[in-house]
Structure 1
Amino acid sequence: MSLQQKTISGIFWTFSQQFSVQLINFIVQIVLARLLLPSEFGLIAMLTVFIGIGNSLMDSGLTTSLIRTGEPDQRDYSTVFFMNLIGSAVVYAILFLTAPFIALFYKQDLLTNIIRVYMISIIIRGFVGVQTARLTKEMNFRIQMLMQIPSVIIGGIVGIVLARAGYGVWSLVWMELTQSFLFTIQHWFRTGWYPEWIIDKEKLKHHFKFGYKITLSGLLNTLFNNIYNLVIGKYFSATQLGFYNRADMIRMLPVQNVSTALNKVTYPMFAAIQNDNVKLKMAYKKLMLQVIFWITPAMIFLGIIAEPLFRFLLTEKWLPIVPYFRILCVSAALYPLQVYNLNILYVKGRSDLFLRLEIIKKIIIALGILCSLPFGIYGLLYVQIVISVISFYINTFYSGRMIDYSIKEQVRDIIPTFVLAIAIGFIAYYLDHFAVSYLRANDIFRIAGIGLAYLGIYLCAGYYLRMPAITDFRQLILKK
């Protein structure tokens, strides 16, 4: 199978995996949000930074190095497997011992026991990192989907049953452990790979040399991706953190799903053509335009219908989430561009530059938070928009130079999509205002009606204007 065929097949199966899993997970989260309190979601949100740091330390960037390596053998895979396993045990021990201090930091005594149980998932996932890397390197996303779906379904059922039985926040803990355990067990039975008792020092040195920089970058990224949960959990209430966390989760649902799905496919694809800058630039440009064309209107539309959407899905008790959500939607539109620009640095082997850029961006984020904290939670939300623009510029400037795709050229390519999406957004906003003021439309009608109108007008305008993303999409569907 050619690289192009592998890529198209990979896109199909990884999108199938990502969206089917997230659809199931979204339904589960909606049911749980109706059964649990915002403060209970806030307690779990307080742990996200520690979960992310634990996963980064456990992996040490070694699996990323495996995917990038041309022809890894059993010695590569076994060495990385055992190092991941050792790392996961060490990380869990650290979190177990520091749990009381984390609980004291947040002034939430219940967190001590929650951390010690919830973090067992780090050890469980330590058994599956290499198998997942092998499947990703082979672009075998079909089997990943077939393993993840039953894990999410059964875990979701466990969470809902426990929530209905009155277990509160513990229903979220046991849901995570169930999903992790089932996902890991399936890998051991279905992937056909098992480690040998090998830890090769030379192989470890090779992968660690590349991976430790990715790990440091990942730690910074994890810390600052979750720093808002950390700050809000510390200086505001668990309920406010619950509102923020759910708003962030839902706004990132379309963005992160598309980004994660494409990232799984594009990283090995970019790696295969890393030495051909002409092909790399062409592939990156097509990908960027395609993602922006679909993500931008989705975020604008979600911002418009936020109030009826949350009232319909989560009930009235969650309506304070609406202003948080609308602000966060603005910064979400640039997220995919940052991810794909960083992939260029990965495949070019510039993990050193990647780390430097992450440090610069994190300093900017820290300064932004310090300056905005006196203005309350809304100051923290608005500063995210500013930071997303700055991060886009930094990532694009350096990665663009490596493939001769300057920031000026990239901005020129994406501006028409943003202008079109915003213009149609104004039309949709006034249609929604008309539906409420004169038609007295209910929430379902507003969501469905405005959604169909927005999508229809947007696609027709894009087709009439001959947007490159429409042309590329038609060619992909028609397999030209």
Structure 2
Amino acid sequence: MSLKSQAVSGVKWSGASMGVMTALQFVTLAVLARLLSPSDFGLMGMIMVVVGFAQAFADMGISNAIIHRQDATRNQLSSLYWLNIIAGIITFCVICASAPLVVEFYHEPRLHNLLYLTAAIFLITPFGQQFQILMQKKLRFNELAKIEIATSIVNSVVAIVLAFSGFGVYSLIWGQLAGTSTKVLMLFSTGWRNWRPGFHFSRHDLSNYLSFGLYQMGERSINYLNSNIDYLLIGSMLGAKSLGYYTLAYNLIIRPSIMINPVITKVAFPVFSRVQNETDRLKRGYLKVLQLLSTVNLPMMIGLAVIAPIAVPVIFGEQWLPSIILIQILTIVGLLRSTASIVGSLLMAKGRADLGFKWNLVLTITQIPGLYLGIKLGGMVGVAIAYAILQCIYAIFNYLVLIRILLGPCLREYIQRMWPSLWTSGAMAIAVLFSGIFLQNMPYLPLLIIQILCGAAVYIGLMMYSQKMFVNEIKDMIFNEGVTVAK
């Protein structure tokens, strides 16, 4: 199968997987939001900041190093496999040992046992991690899609059943553990047929991978830190309940792009890596991905911001009303972050993890005082506003410092790729707002359904009318494998 066909097939399977998972997780969130309190979600938010940060260290950047390098030997892969397991054990011990410090930072004694239980993820994940990376490198996204869907189903079912049974925040953690165990078992059984780690470990095998991976680990760690400073500050300064409101808003407006964008970026990285020395081809691929991401993300986020005042009480309940204003402000953050996410694939494909590390270090240094000032002046809303302002500034420098260096000047093409989805999303938002005004006396549930249908009809109609060629390319990609990011 050609690189083009493999990439398109990867996008289709990853897209199907993420579509199912996004829908399933939205339903799960809606159910759990009515069964659990904002404080429960806040506690889970505190825990996941710690776990997510630890994951960057546990991986050590090895996953992306394996994809980037095209000449890995069996002995090297075996050494890396056992290194992952050792790193997982060390990470588990570090989290358990640092639990008292985390409790003190958040002023939340309930975190003690929750952290010990959640840390078990790091004893499970390493056994399947390398099988997943090798499947991703070979663009076997059809198998990965099935595994991800099964994982999401198990996670959701366990969490909902336990929440109904009164387990509170523990239902979220046991759901995570059940999903992780399912994923590792399926990865192990699938990957074992194609590659088996040998009983071999040598430091010599690791040197080249760690030289790339350590920069990548640093970049991922700093990136994760600056992406979660808001969680750290709100949790520490305002408490679990406020963080719960913020977590719901974040999950609704930013989490979908975090799930949807990897549909493209997971495929784009290995494809970009194969054409890393062909700048013109890489530039065309980047702009194609940018247009695709903006076409999906912009209407979804802008539409959610418009319908939030009705959608939140209808779907999640009255207890979550403080999240509405946060959703609307964080829309700006979501829009800018979603279109910037593909730059990470470019950096890794070009072997410039060092540049990504330096960039994220600068973001972290500037973001901490900005968000701290926001939370001191305006609490939850203040930190959301500060986050939005900072993202606007970062978007400008993201082009000047990263994109222009990697691909050359392309601002005009950048704007041209973004503009169609931007103006059509704006028109969609106006149509949804007017439908709400005209039907304001209607009960919330039917009004919400009408607004969603109205917005979808306007956006799809305008895109089909004004962007026929691009819409046809997407249709060809889905049905005929006619387009790819590496075209």
Question: What's the CA shift for 1:170?
Answer: 1.2
The whole-number CA distance in structure 2 between the counterparts of 1:176 and 1:458 is: 36
**Structure 1: stretches of 5+ with no match in the other structure:** none
The whole-number CA distance in structure 2 between the counterparts of 1:67 and 1:31 is: 38
| Alpha-carbon spacing, 1:51–1:447, altered in 2? closer, same or farther (3 Å) | same
CA contact (8 A) 2:45 2:244 kept: yes
1:165 match:
165
- What do the CA deviations read for 1:201-238 (whole angstroms, capped 9, x no partner)? 23311000001001011111111211111110111131
Q: Any idea what SS the aligned residue of 2:342 has?
A: helix
Question: What's the CA shift for 1:478?
Answer: 5.7
**What is the TM-score when the length of structure 2 is the normalising length?**
0.94
Moved more, 416-425 or 319-328: 416-425
1:68 match:
68
Would you say 1:7 and 2:7 are equivalent positions?
A: yes
- What do the CA deviations read for 1:284-339 (whole angstroms, capped 9, x no partner)? 11111121122111111111111221222212122221111111112211222211
CA contact (8 A) 1:324 1:381 kept: yes
The whole-number CA distance in structure 2 between the counterparts of 1:181 and 1:422 is: 43
1:261 match:
263
Aligned residue runs from structure 1 range 51-450, under 5 A: 51-192=51-192, 193-375=195-377, 376-397=379-400, 398-436=402-440, 440-450=441-451
Letter of the structure 2 residue corresponding to residue 357 of structure 1: W
Q: Any idea what SS the aligned residue of 2:139 has?
A: coil
| Alpha-carbon spacing, 1:462–1:150, altered in 2? closer, same or farther (3 Å) | closer
Letter of the structure 2 residue corresponding to residue 344 of structure 1: L
The whole-number CA distance in structure 2 between the counterparts of 1:122 and 1:469 is: 43
The whole-number CA distance in structure 1 between the counterparts of 2:21 and 2:141 is: 13
Q: Any idea what SS the aligned residue of 1:127 has?
A: helix
The whole-number CA distance in structure 2 between the counterparts of 1:132 and 1:428 is: 42
Which contiguous aligned blocks of 4+ residues in structure 1 show a shift greater than 6 angstroms? none
The whole-number CA distance in structure 2 between the counterparts of 1:296 and 1:412 is: 15
**What is the TM-score when the length of structure 1 is the normalising length?**
0.95
The alignment yields a C-alpha RMSD, in angstroms, of 1.8
Q: Any idea what SS the aligned residue of 1:195 has?
A: coil
Q: Any idea what SS the aligned residue of 2:341 has?
A: helix
| Alpha-carbon spacing, 1:21–1:463, altered in 2? closer, same or farther (3 Å) | closer
The whole-number CA distance in structure 2 between the counterparts of 1:23 and 1:465 is: 28
- What do the CA deviations read for 1:124-155 (whole angstroms, capped 9, x no partner)? 11222111100100111111222232333233
The whole-number CA distance in structure 1 between the counterparts of 2:166 and 2:106 is: 24
Question: What's the CA shift for 1:454?
Answer: 1.9
Identity of aligned residues (%): 23
Question: What's the CA shift for 1:405?
Answer: 4.3
| Alpha-carbon spacing, 1:150–1:475, altered in 2? closer, same or farther (3 Å) | closer
Q: Any idea what SS the aligned residue of 2:168 has?
A: coil
Moved more, 219-228 or 460-469: 460-469
Moved more, 372-381 or 402-411: 402-411
Q: Any idea what SS the aligned residue of 2:439 has?
A: helix
Letter of the structure 2 residue corresponding to residue 100 of structure 1: P
Q: Any idea what SS the aligned residue of 2:72 has?
A: coil
Q: How many residues align?
A: 477
| Alpha-carbon spacing, 1:469–1:382, altered in 2? closer, same or farther (3 Å) | farther
2:453 match:
452
The whole-number CA distance in structure 2 between the counterparts of 1:162 and 1:465 is: 48
**Structure 2: stretches of 5+ with no match in the other structure:** 483-487
Moved more, 273-282 or 443-452: 443-452
CA contact (8 A) 2:303 2:428 kept: no
- Looking at both structures, which has the greater relative contact order when contacts are Cα pairs under 8 Å and sequence separation is at least 6? 2
Question: What's the CA shift for 1:418?
Answer: 1.8
| Alpha-carbon spacing, 1:104–1:290, altered in 2? closer, same or farther (3 Å) | same
Question: What's the CA shift for 1:427?
Answer: 2.7
